[in-house]
Amino acid sequence: MENKVKHVLGISGGKDSAALAIYLNDTYPSLDIEYYSCDTGKELDETYQLIKNLEIYLGKSIKVLNGVGNEELNPFDHFLNRYGGYLPSTMSRWCTKSLKLAPFEKYIAGDQPIVSYVGIRGDEDREGYISKKSNVQSIFPFRKNIWSVDVINKVLSNSNKDFVVNLYKEMAVSKSKDRGLKILEAAVAPTFKIDEKLDSILDHSIQDFNKVVFAFLKTTSYPLATCDDFPLIDNNDILVRDDIFRILEDSGVGVPAYYKKKEYHVEIDGEMKTGYYSRSRSGCFFCFFQQKIEWVWLFENHPKLFEQAMNYEKEGFTWQQGETLEELSSEERRESIKREHYTRIKRKKAKFQSPNLVDILTDSTADEWEVDWEEEEGKGCAACFI
C-alpha cells in the first residue's frame, strides 16, 4: 500500500500561521492539509478564539496536541512541577521544547512522508524550527524561496552543478533562461556564496527554479519525491506583514485582538502624551520574551492574567532578569516604562525615512513602529511566534 504524503500546518495562534492556513486553503484547495495546534494551557483567550474562527472558515477541525495526555494539571503546570518550579527563560527554554516541539515530534513519529508548511514571511530573514526527521520536509509558501536550507544546499552544491544545469536546460521556459543558465553554471565560491547564487537565480524566474528543484527531489528520499506533482512549484507570491493582516481581515477570521494597538497616556516634561501598545506575539500570556511595555499592557488589559503570572514568581525564579512583576506593576515603574517606550518609538519615527512619496505625505508607516516588530520577530522560537 502506498505510503501517502501527509500535509500538515501548525497553528500557533499567531497571525502568520493563521494567514498561511487561509492562503493555502484559498489558493491551493487541492492540498489536503491537516491542521494542528500545541496547547500550553496558558494561552490568551484571543488565541483560542482565533483557532475557533479558523475551524469555521476552513471547514476542518484543528487537532490539539497536548504534551502530557489526560492529566489533571494543564501542560505548563505539569512541566513546571517536573522542572522543580524553575521558570523557563532565554537560557532554559524548556517550555518551547516540552510544550511545542516534543508534541510535534510525537505527532509526526513513524515513517510516513510529511510535508510541513511554515508561515515565515517574505520580509523575514530566519528559517524557524526544522525537524531533523528524514520523513519530514518543510515548505515556506510566503517566501520567494519556498525550499528549506538543506534542500538548497544540495541543489546548489558544486557536486550537483552539472546535473542541475541539465535539468534547467530541459525545463526552464522563461525569457531570461540563458541568463539563469549562466548563473547556475557558475560555481559556488567564497566570492559567490550559495545565498547569492540563490537570490540571483530567483530574480530571473522563481517558477523555473522551482521546477528544477522538484525534479531534483525525485532523485532523493525527501517526502516530495513520492509526489507526481506539487502545486506550489508555480507559486510566485511573496507575502509580507501587511499582506498577513489583510488576509486575516478580508477572510473574516480577524486579527487576534492582542495585536490591535491601544492607547496609553504618560506625562513627559509636564505634557500628557498619547502612546500605543499591544502584544507582539502569540504563545503564553507570561512569555519571558515579551518587552516590558507588553507586561504593562498585560497588567492594564488583563489584570487577572498578570496576577497569575506574578504568582508563579518566587525568590530566584522570575520572568525577567533583575525585576519582579510586583516591582514592575507599581504605578511609578509603569509610568517609567511608558515614558521610555514612547520616547524610543518617537525617536525611531524621526529616523525612519520611507522611499515612497505616499508614506512621506500620509505618514502611513507610523503604526508599524508602535511595536518594534523587527526586533521582536527575531526573538524566540517560530513554533510560538508565527
Q: pLDDT tens-digit profile of 142-168?
A: 999 999 999 999 999 999 999 999 999
Once rounded to an integer, what is the mean pLDDT over residues 285-291? Answer: 92
pTM for the full predicted model: 0.88
| Domain 6-148+221-251 classification at class level | alpha beta
Once rounded to an integer, what is the mean pLDDT over residues 217-233? Answer: 95
Q: Is the pLDDT of residue 350 over 60?
A: yes
Nearest residue to 280 (alpha-carbon basis) of 368, 173, 184 = 368
Q: Is the pLDDT of residue 250 over 50?
A: yes
> What is the pLDDT at residue 382?
55
Contact 103, 11 (CB under 8 A): no
Q: Where, residue-wise, is CATH 3.40.50.620 in the chain? A: 6-148+221-251
pLDDT digits (tens, 9 = 90+) for 116-136: 999 999 998 877 667 778 899
pLDDT digits (tens, 9 = 90+) for 49-102: 999 999 999 999 999 998 786 667 789 999 999 999 899 988 888 998 999 999
Percent share of the chain, pLDDT over 70: 89
Q: Is the pLDDT of residue 359 over 60?
A: no
> What is the pLDDT at residue 377?
52
Residue, of 373 and 160, whose pLDDT is higher:
160
Residue 369: DSSP 8-state: G
Cell of 60: 476542518
> What is the pLDDT at residue 192?
96
Q: Is the pLDDT of residue 352 over 90?
A: no
Helix ranges restricted to H, the chain:
15-27, 45-58, 75-82, 94-96, 102-107, 149-155, 161-171, 177-185, 194-204, 206-217, 241-251, 292-301, 303-312, 325-328, 331-351, 357-362, 373-377, 382-385
Residue, of 275 and 363, whose pLDDT is higher:
275
Band (pLDDT 50/70/90 cuts) for residue 356 is: very low
Nearest residue to 320 (alpha-carbon basis) of 52, 47, 91, 10 = 91
> What is the pLDDT at residue 347?
87
pLDDT digits (tens, 9 = 90+) for 302-323: 999 999 999 999 887 899 988 9
| Cα–Cα dist 11/313, whole Å | 29
Q: Is the pLDDT of residue 177 over 80?
A: yes
The overall average pLDDT reported for the chain is: 88
Q: Label the pairing between strands 33-38 and 6-10.
A: parallel
Once rounded to an integer, what is the mean pLDDT over residues 225-229? Answer: 94
Q: Is the pLDDT of residue 191 over 50?
A: yes
